[in-house]
Chain A
Amino acid sequence: DAKTTQPTSMDCAEGRAANLPCNHSTISGNEYVYWYRQIHSQGPQYIIHGLKNNETNEMASLIITEDRKSSTLILPHATLRDTAVYYCIYLSGANNLFFGTGTRLTVIP
């Protein structure tokens, strides 16, 4: 299984940017980094993915370091509804996604 390392938990004030880091030092050159989140008792929700360049969509931005060994997911203006567990994932020769334990983000009013 492809391993990523994320902090267990983080807090963020409502309206501020939430920056969630992820280390993926064993990623290879053609493997995408994916971010998902899971709100309690719901299925995982796809957020964003990237290969080398930084990416932005309506939900978040993804910053990938030049050596591709780490990335940061940015929620620019966190709301209470962003409270969830955030997973950073990449595939390594497998057809399934290994989610690990993720980062539990709590947005505080």
Chain B
Amino acid sequence: DVKVTQSSRYLVKRTGEKVFLECVQDMDHENMFWYRQDPGLGLRLIYFSYDVKMKEKGDIPEGYSVSREKKERFSLILESASTNQTSMYLCASRKTGGPETQYFGPGTRLLVL
């Protein structure tokens, strides 16, 4: 089974703090994604990466950056956390080629005070 893990299930940070969310997958998938999920808005793509050191902006990249130094790890960085970044953050991975099945981690619920 594909396993995608995220570093924290729950996180509380203060406005202006730098926040790191880590995601690791163990299936040698080339593609990795960061989404945020908010009530009534569904999942929105923040960034994705299709290879090591490669990154592409999703629909809502503002206020976020990412890092992919190793194939299995994809980090989401909030440079200066703000209250409107309070959300559920979901990481996913997918193998290149074939169906577009994405496998998700358990999510990190971030509260910015």
Contact = CB atoms under 8 A, between A and B. Distances in A.
Interface of A: 32, 34, 36, 41-46, 49, 91, 95-101
Given A96-B33, A96-B48, A43 B106 contact: yes
Contacts of A99: 42-43
Contacts of A41: 88, 107, 109
A99 B33 CA distance: 14
A95 B104 CA distance: 15
A43 B42 contact: no
A82 B73 CA distance: 31
Given A43-B90, A44-B90, A97 B102 contact: yes
Nearest to A51: B99
B101 A49 contact: yes
Contacts of A36: 104
A96 B48 CA distance: 9
